[in-house]
Amino acid sequence: MVCMGNMDWEQLELNPRIIAAVKKANVKSAREILSLSGPDLQRLTHLSKSDVQHLHTAVAISYRRHSPVTALQVHRGECPSLEPGHKLSLACPVLDALLRGGVPLSGITELAGESSAGKTQFGLQLCLSVQYPLAYGGLNSGAVYICTEDSFPIKRLRQLITQQARLRPELPQALIRSIRFSDNIYIEHAADLGALQACVSQRVPILLSRGLVRLVVVDSVAALFRSEFQADEGIERARHMLAFAATLHRLSHNYSTPVLCINQVTDVMDGPDPAHCNFGLVDNKVLPALGMAWANQVMVRLMLLRLPGCVGTGEQGGTSAPRRLEVVFAPHLPRASCLCGVWEEGVRGLPNRPRSVTNSVTKRLETTGELGLNDVPHINTGLGSASLCLPILNLR
């Protein structure tokens, strides 16, 4: 691949006569060639139509970021970046089952939800999961966590580190003790868009190229784009947003690194506007922020919704507000969801019940805030007996 600045024309597979004409016309960059039409180049270089076509083709091929891939190459396993392969585990079999193994290693995965839904908890848990060996769902590397609004939750991270043995009891305890989790998480703070772009285009590539990290978390992606642009600056905001997303995609592709972007949500006002469509399985009143310009840059979109009530774990005695993690869209996943909770040791999914039962329980929680005693399911989380307890709700 060549850059768009001054280039060495001799490296192109072109007739020397064409190269001489280009130099004589004082054309110095690939950008000039690609931005001019065929007739304009003909007038500028005095080349024939076929010569100009060869020139356009040669420059376009040299500038192409990634070579085209054939179906035969994929079938032979010559393009591992395009295959499902390994994924980054969420450190919970229920959540991994929902995502068919975990977070993909290529592309942008978005996790959107309201405040206090538990989005940051997922980001922190992935920062720990990525440090485990491949055999245990990790990538045997560190993570970079980019904060754009609040300070990094260091106390919660320390708590999660001390509770890893409880979260993942199936792993060898010696392995958990051998990993220095806090040493492998690099924290960046970006107060404005300039600092954010400099971080992902300069500092993060250094960490990736040295093999120090294999996970990028941005918390949150909407904060700066919402605060730095006025309502009438949509085009400028979209331009910066696309440049930022392109940088993340390039990092993810070049280093086979999962990128998690935590996003805020906006309220959906009732009305006939078709843009206010339902992107979830259950009728939600919120949508991920930043609109379609950002949605088109996301490969996997997840929504996290906090439900009323609480989930109690029998042996440990802890409780959590129930959440629903929902797959909104993904190229390899159906639209589905599962219940989960946030405990002292981390995020855990609640094992699936029959779909009709789960949907009826979830729907009743959201619409009436009431459950009958027969609606309360018994759940085995691996921590002993657990059940939905509803001290703040009216049990009929």
Contact assessment for residue 291 and residue 245, using Cβ atoms and an 8 Å cutoff: no
User: Would you state the pLDDT for residue 392?
Assistant: 32
Q: CA 251, CA 167: separation in Å to the nearest integer?
A: 30
Query: Integer distance in angstroms from the first to the last C-alpha of the chain?
Result: 68
Q: CA 221, CA 108: separation in Å to the nearest integer?
A: 11
User: Would you state the pLDDT for residue 382?
Assistant: 37
Q: Does residue 339 form part of some domain?
A: yes
Banded pLDDT at 3 (limits 50, 70, 90): very low
Return the bridge partners of 323, or none.
Answer: 306, 340
Read off the pLDDT of each residue in 230-238 and give the average, rounded to a whole number. Answer: 79
User: Would you state the pLDDT for residue 268?
Assistant: 75
Name the token pair of 299: 């490969």
Least confident of 116-120, 233-237, 338-342, 353-357: 353-357
Contact assessment for residue 326 and residue 302, using Cβ atoms and an 8 Å cutoff: yes
Could you report the per-residue pLDDT of 326-371, keeping only the tens digit for each?
A: 999 998 888 999 999 999 999 999 886 544 334 445 555 555 554 4
Banded pLDDT at 87 (limits 50, 70, 90): very high
Least confident of 115-129, 130-144, 221-235: 221-235
For residues 39 and 182, state if they share a domain: no
Q: Does residue 370 form part of some domain?
A: yes
User: Would you state the pLDDT for residue 65?
Assistant: 59
Q: Is the pLDDT of residue 252 over 50?
A: yes
Range of the domain at 42: 9-63
- Phi, psi at 377, each rounded to 5°: -85, 150
Read off the pLDDT of each residue in 264-268 and give the average, rounded to a whole number. Answer: 84
User: Would you state the pLDDT for residue 71?
Assistant: 77
User: Would you state the pLDDT for residue 309?
Assistant: 87
Of all residues in the chain, the percent with pLDDT exceeding 70 is 77
Could you report the per-residue pLDDT of 299-336, keeping only the tens digit for each?
A: 999 999 999 988 776 445 678 899 999 999 998 888 99
Q: Is the pLDDT of residue 272 over 80?
A: no
Least confident of 104-108, 186-190, 281-285, 341-345: 281-285
For residues 15 and 86, state if they share a domain: no
Q: Does residue 3 form part of some domain?
A: no
For residues 354 and 383, state if they share a domain: yes
Read off the pLDDT of each residue in 280-300 and give the average, rounded to a whole number. Answer: 80
CATH of the domain at 37: 1.10.150
Give the residue from 63, 92, 107 where a domain finishes: 63
For residues 176 and 251, state if they share a domain: yes
Q: Is the pLDDT of residue 155 over 80?
A: yes
User: Would you state the pLDDT for residue 395?
Assistant: 32
Q: Does residue 23 form part of some domain?
A: yes
Q: Does residue 74 form part of some domain?
A: no
State the chain's mean pLDDT as an integer: 81
Q: Does residue 198 form part of some domain?
A: yes
Q: Does residue 68 form part of some domain?
A: no
Banded pLDDT at 393 (limits 50, 70, 90): very low
Q: CA 104, CA 99: separation in Å to the nearest integer?
A: 9
Looking at per-residue pLDDT, the higher value among 10 and 255 belongs to: 255
Looking at per-residue pLDDT, the higher value among 147 and 23 belongs to: 147
For residues 53 and 103, state if they share a domain: no
For residues 160 and 293, state if they share a domain: yes
For residues 161 and 186, state if they share a domain: yes
CATH of the domain at 320: 3.40.50.300
Q: Is the pLDDT of residue 388 over 50?
A: no
Strand 310-313 and strand 300-306: the pairing is unpaired
User: Which position has the token pair 């005693």?
Assistant: 373
Q: Does residue 46 form part of some domain?
A: yes
For residues 102 and 17, state if they share a domain: no
User: Which position has the token pair 């994924």?
Assistant: 87
For residues 334 and 274, state if they share a domain: yes
Could you report the per-residue pLDDT of 156-189, keeping only the tens digit for each?
A: 999 999 999 999 999 999 999 999 999 999 999 9
For residues 58 and 86, state if they share a domain: no
For residues 171 and 121, state if they share a domain: yes
User: Would you state the pLDDT for residue 339?
Assistant: 93
In the chain, how long is the greatest CA-to-CA distance?
A: 89
For residues 149 and 41, state if they share a domain: no
Could you report the per-residue pLDDT of 61-72, keeping only the tens digit for each?
A: 777 656 677 778
Q: Give me the number of domains the chain comprises.
A: 2
Q: CA 216, CA 246: separation in Å to the nearest integer?
A: 14
Name the token pair of 351: 């094992």
Tell me the pTM.
0.71
